[in-house]
Amino acid sequence: MLRRPAPAWSLDLRLGLWLVLLGIALAAAAAWLAPGDPSALGPTGQTLLAPSWRHLLGTDALGRDVLVRLLHGGRVSLLVGWASMVVATVLGTLVGLGAGLARRPVRAALTAVIDLFLAFPGVYLVLLLVAVSRPSLGLLVLVLSVSTWMDTARLVRTEAMALRDREFVAAARGLGLSAGAVAWRHVLPNLLPTVLVAGALRIGQTILVESFLSFLGLGPQEPLVTWGGMIAQGRAHLLDAWWLTAFPGLAIAVTVLAYNLLADGLRGRFWGEGQGEEVHGGAA
């Protein structure tokens, strides 16, 4: 009779995780669910069909099935989002650890590098880089990670500096561990929750930026399908064929929401619950 409700899988976390996994599964299975080239022209007379049983989300001006293109477009968005997150997080964490823990001159130099990158207007940098060279997936990932790693680095630096003053870090140094071992085994594991939450948020934001670039025609080019690109193409038929813009827009919104929910859920799991217990966590 004194039972408590089940543990800390909050609604945010469950919903976010489900949506994220669903998105990954759909993107991974796109080639199997909708075989063939999503950019190949459809049969004549099939252009701009409204959603029906034959074409669940309708067809576009070139007679291509919107659902098929949506599935393939998801692959690009998720790939870009995850890849830039991984690059930005690894880079940001390494620089942030150095800027928080290294000897004074190194620390100051790394901090200056972070601030320098932060001072650059990131969006224009992205636009410039993408505009002067031929847009490709690799370049896009590079540009997106180079313009976002500083946030992670700042977070990691702040946390690392706080952890550096904690007693268990001093104790680890006192045991004779090298600075690298202390950073790797005692500081990094303790700021991993921060990095994970920031990473989940980063994926959603990157997907949003990627869609925006693709909408401007600066993203990956045909034959690769992107959600932003689909919206751009559908813009001409905004009034007579709403499904061309509505469904890719919805896909972007749901995907970004999913990663934000995941990040919130993770935050709750790491810090939200259990603080009340710590208050009297002394004896027993």
Partner 1 sequence: MAQPDLLRVEGLSVWYPGAGRPALADLDLAVAPGECVAVVGPSGSGKSTLCRALLDLLPPGSRCTGRIAWCGEDLVAGSARWRGLRGGALGLVLQDHRHALDPVRRVGDQLDEVVALRAPHLDRAARRRRVAELLAAVHLDQVPDVARRHAHELSGGQRQRVNLAATLAGGPRLLLADEPTTALDLPVQREILALLLSLVRDAGLSLLLVTHDRDLVPLVADRVLEVGAATPAVATGTAPATGSTVPTTARLAARRVHVSVASRGGPRDVVCGVDLELAPGRTVGLAGESGSGKTTLLRALAGWLRPRAGSVELAGPVPAAPAARRRLVQLVSQDPAAALDPQQTVHAAIREAASQVAGRRDAAERARRLLADVDLTADLGRRLPRELSGGQRQRAQLARALAVAPWFLLADEPTSSLDPDRRLALLALLARLREVHGIGLVIASHDLGLLAARADEVVVMHAGLIVERYRPARHAEPRHPFAAALAAASPTRLTPADLRLPSVARGDTRPAAPGRRLVGPGCPYAPRCPHAEPACRTALPPLVEETDGRWLRCPVRGLGAR
Instruction: Return the range that interacts with partner 1 (CB under 8 A); candidates 18-26, 176-184, 196-204, 226-234.
Output: 176-184
Alpha-carbon gap, residue 19 to 3, rounded angstroms: 30
- Binding to partner 1 by residue 186, rule CB under 8 A? yes
CB 200 within 8 A of CB 266: yes
CB closer to partner 1 out of 132 and 279: 279
Tell me if 11 contacts partner 1 by CB under 8 A.
Answer: no
Q: 107, 164, 173, 237: which one contacts partner 1 (CB under 8 A)?
A: 173
Give the nearer residue to partner 1 in terms of CB position, either 132 or 175: 175
Task: Give the Cα separation of 30 and 76 in Å (integer).
Answer: 11
How far is Cα 153 from Cα 156, in angstroms, rounded to an integer?
5
Q: Is 2 in the site for partner 1 (CB under 8 A)?
A: yes
Q: How far is CA 34 from CA 102, 150, 193, in A?
A: 52, 39, 38
Stretch that binds partner 1, among 5-13, 47-55, 67-75, 234-242 (CB under 8 A): 5-13
Is the N-terminal amide bond of 223 cis, ω within 30° of 0? yes
We find the least distance from the C-beta atom of residue 202 to partner 1, in angstroms, to be 23
Question: What is d(CA 271, CA 194) in angstroms, rounded to the nearest whole number?
Answer: 10
Report how far Cα 156 is from the mean position of its chain's Cα atoms: 17
Q: Which of 220, 259, 213 is nearest to 24 (CA)?
A: 259
Contact region with partner 1 (CB under 8 A), list: 22-30, 174-182, 231-239, 244-252 = 174-182
Which one, 164 or 237, has the nearer CB to partner 1? 164
Residues that bind partner 1 (CB under 8 A): 1-8, 166-168, 170-178, 185-186, 189-190, 273-274, 276-284
